[in-house]
Amino acid sequence: MENTTGDAPSEWYREEEHIGYDVDGRRISKRRWNDSIENLLHTIDDPSYWRKVFDEKEDREISLSRAHVELIQRLRSGAFPKSSSSSDLKHEQNHGIAEVAWQINHEPKRRFIPSKWEAKLVLRIVRALRAHATPNALQSNTVEQKMIWEAEDASQRSTRDHTYLPAQKPKKPNHADSYNPPFEYQINDEDAPGTNGHDNHATRTLFNALRRVPSYSEFVVERFQRCLDLYLCPRVKKHRLHVRPQDILPPLPSPKDLKPFPSSNCLKFTGHEDKVLSIAIDHSGQWLLSASEDCSIRKWEISSSRCISVWRFRDIVKSVAWCPSPMANTFSACVASDIVLLKSTRASGSVPLLSSHHSVHSKVENSKLPEWKERDGEMIVHLASDVSKVTWHKKGDYFASFMIGGNNVMIHRMSRRTSQLIFRDQKFPIQSVMFHPYRPFMLICTRTCVYLYDLNKQSLIKKLSSGNQTLSCMAVHPGGDNLIIGTDLGRLAWFDLDLATSPYKVMATHASAVKGVAFHAKLPLFASVSDDATTQVFHGMVHAELDQNTLIVPLKILRYTSESNCDGVFDCVFHPTQPWLFTAGADRSILLVCDDN
């Protein structure tokens, strides 16, 4: 069968038994090849076998003629395929030239001279290549396929965002713009528009002809305003980034995952007749002391909110604090210029003082040693001026005091009844004093800075500054490496003593001055109170690993809801073991805020 597969590649049928299909769609079987013995016999039996050539395209053997063999031999020897003499070839060439001589055109000279414009183009391309720029002539002319939903590139945005400020469209003409209006729209000079029932669109000036109409009087003013609009138009349009706050702020855990923490009012301690200035809770968490402007100290039972004892004084009690020693069962009270140390088991009644009157001195030099005196089971330390606050050491034998308007700190020892000055006078009045929980350090908070002193070496270790803010109160973390400071601007500054002398984080929490801050002894909680009658509770986790920063999360904002107008909250303290918070405010009451559980 004749092979009619055409130009179909033979590789398609390499593994098949057929070599293709004919015009009728029938398979064409492959040819059976002769082996070596059969080829040898054919060469012996057939003398013209060497002329036969196999054609793979037509799948058959072709016998070469004498002319074909001679042509192949001439091609292999490098001669002309057709045998002809040189004279015949010359005659044919001359005949061809004479025949087409009248058709030959001379090449113009410009085709042999280099083009000036091509030279300029080449020069421009060379300069662009030297400048590492891609010339337009070398750029691909193919159109780039763009995605339908892809964002616009910068080139499209730049052409689109050109500032276009069209001129204001002129108002449509009315009757006042007519040079010769009808009679009903004409008024006299003695009549004013809008009066005597005339129309506001009426015109005054009349012209008999259009050529008598003068030029537009507001032309220069309008062109000037247009020039101002073009001159004052911004040349660059600023693209605002629409970024969600959630993408910028660090992810914070949910307050629901940080429970327990104080969240709702539980008990209210009432009984004071004036503002409650200070509160303190003992180490067991059973008893609560409160000092008020009604010149009294009250002892409360926390579980029942019942008042157990009342001690009255002649002057306002500014501060009250429990002695940390469990065996002492003593608390201190700052009354006028006296520090009163009382047993909590003492019966209620009035407590006599050594100071005869309430005196306040500004810029007091606290250089005179105080006077110690014991009377009826209580101990009284008399100072030169009014005492502002007393801070106890964790062992319960030492306590520090500073006076209102004073610029020095005095340390007292209760077991030996001694007092001493340990620092030179500060430049600014002292706001708060605290002992370090574990090290022999003392922190002194002034109106501008916080000083960290080493009591053993009697040297300054570090000076913490919060900028231009005025400091008001201070609290030290139970771990001792962090402290928080409140300011008069309603901000809280968190300091890491191992990190830097500047605040680690500043939080704008309150609208008024911060009056008190407190840390929880065991839980990662701290709170702040302010004059804006709010209490804010925070989660403050301090990690032991140095590669993790402190995690601060706002938890709850507690607002005073009292019948009388509350002027603010003055003090706050946490329960030693429970997630409870006590706050003392100007509404003459004490609130116990507990968790939801």
265, part of any domain: yes
Domain count, the chain: 3
Same-domain check for residues 499 and 571: yes
CA 285 vs. chain centroid, Å, equals 42
Task: Please give the structure tokens belonging to residue 81.
Answer: 């395929």
pTM assigned to the model: 0.60
pLDDT on residue 392: 95
32, part of any domain: yes
175-186 average pLDDT score: 78
Q: What domain range includes position 441? A: 256-312+435-597
Same-domain check for residues 292 and 319: no
277-287 average pLDDT score: 93
pLDDT on residue 290: 95
Using alpha carbons, list the distances in angstroms from residue 160 to 98, 151, 277, 470, 478. 69, 14, 65, 52, 61
Which of the four pLDDT bands, split at 50, 70 and 90, describes residue 311?
very high
For residue 581, pLDDT over 60 is answered with yes
495, part of any domain: yes
Same-domain check for residues 452 and 510: yes
Which of the four pLDDT bands, split at 50, 70 and 90, describes residue 23?
confident
Domain termination residue (choose one: 365, 390, 425): 425
Query: Which has more pLDDT, 61 or 164?
Result: 61
Query: Mind listing the pLDDT tens digit for each residue in 88-125?
Result: 555 555 555 555 555 567 788 888 888 889 999 999 99
pLDDT on residue 561: 58
pLDDT on residue 563: 44
Number of H helices, E strands in the chain: 7, 34
Highest mean pLDDT: which range of 79-88, 258-267, 404-413? 258-267
235, part of any domain: no
Using alpha carbons, list the distances in angstroms from residue 265 to 279, 281, 284. 17, 18, 22
Same-domain check for residues 525 and 478: yes
338, part of any domain: yes
Q: Do residues 300 and 308 touch, judged by C-beta distance below 8 A?
A: yes
- Report the mean per-residue pLDDT for the chain: 82
CA 191 vs. chain centroid, Å, equals 68
Q: Determine the Cα angle at 447 with ends 442 and 451, to 5°.
A: 25
pLDDT on residue 99: 54
Same-domain check for residues 404 and 542: no
Query: Which has more pLDDT, 123 or 198?
Result: 123
pLDDT on residue 553: 93
Same-domain check for residues 282 and 352: no
For residue 156, pLDDT over 60 is answered with no
Which of the four pLDDT bands, split at 50, 70 and 90, describes residue 469?
confident
Query: Which has more pLDDT, 365 or 11?
Result: 11
For residue 243, pLDDT over 80 is answered with yes
Same-domain check for residues 567 and 525: yes
Q: Please tell me whether residue 335 adopts helix, strand or coil conformation.
A: strand
Q: Please tell me whether residue 201 adopts helix, strand or coil conformation.
A: coil
Least confident of 144-148, 279-283, 320-324: 144-148
CA 1 vs. chain centroid, Å, equals 84
Q: Determine the Cα angle at 392 with ends 386 and 395, to 5°.
A: 155
CA–CA gap between residue 481 and residue 402 (Å, rounded): 24
pLDDT on residue 585: 86
CA–CA gap between residue 127 and residue 133 (Å, rounded): 9
Q: Which residues contact 324 (CB under 8 A, 6 or more apart)?
A: 283, 392, 393, 394, 395, 396
Highest mean pLDDT: which range of 155-169, 246-260, 495-509? 495-509
332, part of any domain: yes
415-434 average pLDDT score: 84
Q: How large a percentage of the chain has pLDDT more than 70? A: 82
Same-domain check for residues 73 and 14: yes
Which of the four pLDDT bands, split at 50, 70 and 90, describes residue 3?
low
Query: Mind listing the pLDDT tens digit for each residue in 471-493?
Result: 999 999 999 999 999 999 999 99
pLDDT on residue 451: 93
Q: Which CATH number covers residue 557?
A: 2.130.10.10
Residue with tokens 């809280």: 492
571, part of any domain: yes
Query: Mind listing the pLDDT tens digit for each residue in 286-299?
Result: 999 999 999 999 99
Same-domain check for residues 320 and 307: no
Using alpha carbons, list the distances in angstroms from residue 1 to 22, 54, 155. 9, 15, 68
Same-domain check for residues 521 and 446: yes
Q: Which runs of E-coded beta strand occur in 223-337?
A: 264-270, 276-281, 287-292, 296-301, 306-312, 317-322, 330-335
Which of the four pLDDT bands, split at 50, 70 and 90, describes residue 365?
very low
Same-domain check for residues 466 and 534: yes
Query: Which has more pLDDT, 238 or 533?
Result: 533
Same-domain check for residues 442 and 519: yes
136, part of any domain: no
Which of the four pLDDT bands, split at 50, 70 and 90, describes residue 187?
low
CA–CA gap between residue 23 and residue 190 (Å, rounded): 111
For residue 354, pLDDT over 60 is answered with no
